[in-house]
Structure 1
Amino acid sequence: MVTERPTFDELFAECERSAVHLEMRDVYTPDDPTYLDWKAGVEYDPVERFRDWYDLIVAAVARGVEVRRARIVSEPVTDFIRHEYETTPVLNIPAGEQVRWLSRRRASDLALPGNDFWVFDDRLVRFGYFAGDGTYLGQEVLDDPAVVKLCSSAFEAVWERAVDHREYQPR
């Protein structure tokens, strides 16, 4: 079942050690006002636009939660991925996230789940569901140990192979 509960606030509030996120799409939320402003060359402050997210990550990291994000991307990258790349050093990294990038070509031999996901403390998986055009459809949170193991292993395989944001240059 696709639901909106628990929220990220609730998931992070219960998180004690680690939150890892694997992104595998080339486009997300194509009607997002921030993305559309970026495309139009409108200047904005990403931290102010995403204040709730920024504060959520800052608080989690301050409590000792390690937050890691890995992105598998097609190259050449889409405009949306370029937007994420340019936003990462002014939003995600200052909030305390560690971010790595992996070219899709280098992920061909990895066993990966079919959807983006978060794993919280190696005990819960939150799948995010998107339509083909990137429109957000909802989430599902599971605590099945086999699913948690699959997603944790997939994330670690990507993380090991991926390039730190400071060293990655999108093509």
Structure 2
Amino acid sequence: MQQSLNSFADLLRSAERSAVHLEMRDAYAVDNETSGLTAWRAGRRLDPADRRSWWRPWLDLVQEVTGKGVVMRRARIVSEPASEYIRFEHSGTFTNIAAGEEVRWLPRRRASDIALPGNDFWLFDDRVVQFNVFDGDGRWVHTDQVEDAAVAKLCSAAFAAVWERAVAHDEYTV
């Protein structure tokens, strides 16, 4: 399924209690991050005092959704030492947190005994799962949306296990 940012925003806005996201790749090659990664490689870092320079419209959406009481959590399973992309991602994660998202990091070696789905996913209100499928180079390929109770249960259990072991963003160093 091809998905626009607007249709994903509508899906996120439809959450009533929770939206959790599990990321399991060490690198992504998504178009909307290319310029930010290039700037980061050149030494540019986001300024905590300059909220207007942060990733829009995503952070506005996070603030909107968390502002209505939806708990948003993101867990990232990462290899160590961290890839260049993960170091880039880590350096800007304070913006997600400032917008209301909770973020934790789990070293991949600590995830070996957790049953994980084959793709990154979002889980909304423990009932709707959106799998984000990427190719081997980290480019987004398509989205699979599932409303199957067994799949939602698997993803919920996987996320809970990762979240329990993961390290809070402020305590995790790359």
TM-score band (shorter)? Answer: over 0.9
How far is the alpha carbon of 1:3 from its aligned partner?
Answer: 2.4
The verdict on how the C-alpha distance between 1:139 and 1:30 changes in structure 2, with shifts beyond 3 A counting, is closer
Alignment coverage as a number of residue pairs: 168
Residue 43 of structure 2: aligned partner = 41
TM-score (norm 1): 0.92
For the residue of structure 2 that corresponds to 1:51, the secondary structure is coil
* Equivalence for 1:87: 92
SS of residue matched to 2:93: helix
Q: Which amino acid aligns with 1:4?
A: Q
The answer as to whether partners of 1:30 and 1:133 remain within 8 angstroms in 2 is no
Corresponding letter in the other structure for 1:16? E
Which residue of 153, 157, 166 maps to 1:149?
153
Give the superposition deviation at 1:101.
Answer: 0.4
The 3-state SS of whatever aligns with 1:7 is helix
C-alpha contact 1:66 1:97 (8 A) present in aligned 2? yes
Match of 2:70 among 57, 60, 65: 65
**Structure 1 regions of 5+ residues with no counterpart?**
none
Give the letter aligned to residue 3 of structure 1.
Q
Shift of 1:33: 1.5
Which residue of structure 2 aligns with residue 19 of structure 1? 19
Q: Structure 1 residues 47 and 99 mapped into 2: Cα distance closer, same or farther (>3 Å)?
A: farther
Report if the CA contact (8 A) 2:46-2:92 is conserved. no
Q: Partner residue of 1:134? A: 138
**Deviation of the 1:39 alpha carbon:** 1.1
Runs of 4+ off more than 3 Å: 42-49
Structure 2 stretches lacking a partner, 5+ long: none
Task: Give the secondary-structure state (helix, strand or coil) at the position aligned to 2:36.
Answer: helix
Aligned pair in 2 of structure 1 residues 71, 51: CA closer, same or farther (>3 Å)?
same
Aligned identity (percent) is 54
Q: 101, 110, 119: which one pairs with 1:97?
A: 101
Q: Which moved more, 1:118-127 or 1:24-33?
A: 24-33
